[in-house]
């Protein structure tokens, strides 16, 4: 089924059913729902965690004494 066919089928539904479908999709994509978007975000966080773990292991991870120092480091590229 093509994308256009899906749209046409959705448009052929009664308005109430379209609304129900949109609500279902919205809920499944919501991080609170535990749906696909949430699973995808967990995967991204896990990858970032692994990168951080490797940086700490290799001694290349940065350390900051406070949040202001971290902010300065993060936004230093924006100022240049």
**Does 80 score more than 60 pLDDT?**
no
Report the candidate in 22, 1, 18, 2 with the shortest Cα–Cα distance to residue 10: 18
Q: What is the pLDDT of residue 43?
A: 87
**Does 63 score more than 80 pLDDT?**
yes
DSSP state at residue 64 = -
Q: Which residue has 């896990």 as its token pair? A: 46
Q: What are the extents of the domains in the chain?
A: 3-79
Distance CA 57, CA 80 (A): 30
pLDDT tens for each residue of 17-56: 999 999 988 887 776 666 666 778 788 899 999 998 898 8
Q: What is the pLDDT of residue 22?
A: 92
**H helices present in 1-80, as ranges:** 3-12, 15-29, 36-58, 67-79
Task: Write down the pTM of the prediction.
Answer: 0.41
Q: Which residue has 């951080």 as its token pair? A: 52
* Average pLDDT for the chain: 84
């Amino acid at each position: 089924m093509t994308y256009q066919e899906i749209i046409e089928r959705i448009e052929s539904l009664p308005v109430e059913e379209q609304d129900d479908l949109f609500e279902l999709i919205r809920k499944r994509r919501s991080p609170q729902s535990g749906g696909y978007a949430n699973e995808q975000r967990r995967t991204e966080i896990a990858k970032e965690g692994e990168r951080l773990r490797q940086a700490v292991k290799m001694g290349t991870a940065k350390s900051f004494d406070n949040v202001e120092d971290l902010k300065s480091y993060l936004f230093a590229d924006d100022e240049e």
